[in-house]
Amino acid sequence: MSVALLTTIGMLTTIGIYLITARSLSRILLGFSLLGHAAVLSLLVAGGPPGDAPLADQSSAAEMANPVPQALALTAIVISFGLTLFLLALARRQQLLSGDDLVEDDLEDRRVATEADGDDRETAEVDR
């Protein structure tokens, strides 16, 4: 396993998670895309060294490549593509409705946050 490949996977994951925590849908889209690439790379690393094609009567079982990580990588690519298209549609819809792609706070979220702050203050006063 190459240290450069593991570092690349770590960097893609770190940057992807950082972008997902943003309020802009375009950054969230890029973050999920980077996480998809990191998942595919990690699955390919998990597959081990390359081997012969896994065809019957072509080579022994020890010389064959494991087809499961390759199948999982293809599945991850398809899921990542579907998620990218869904987020792109959400960003486009948000841009058409509000003129930007920022995700705003919901009124219910604000109400729950203020109630939670009030509950925390009450518990702190009771603890004194």
Give me the residue spans of the domains in the chain.
3-50+66-127
**pLDDT tens digits, one per residue of 61-104:** 777 777 888 889 999 999 999 999 998 998 888 888 888 878 77
CATH number of 3-50+66-127: 1.10.287
Identify whether the C-beta of residue 40 lies closer than 8 Å to the C-beta of residue 76: yes
**pLDDT tens digits, one per residue of 11-24:** 999 999 999 998 88
**Residues near 13 by beta carbon (within 8 Å), at least 6 away in sequence:** 34, 35, 38
Identify whether the C-beta of residue 39 lies closer than 8 Å to the C-beta of residue 90: no
Quote the CA–CA distance of 23 and 26 in Å, as a whole number.
9
At 118, list the tokens.
């009030």
Centre a 10 Å sphere on the Cβ of residue 30 and count the other Cβ atoms it contains. 18
Q: What is this structure's pTM?
A: 0.72
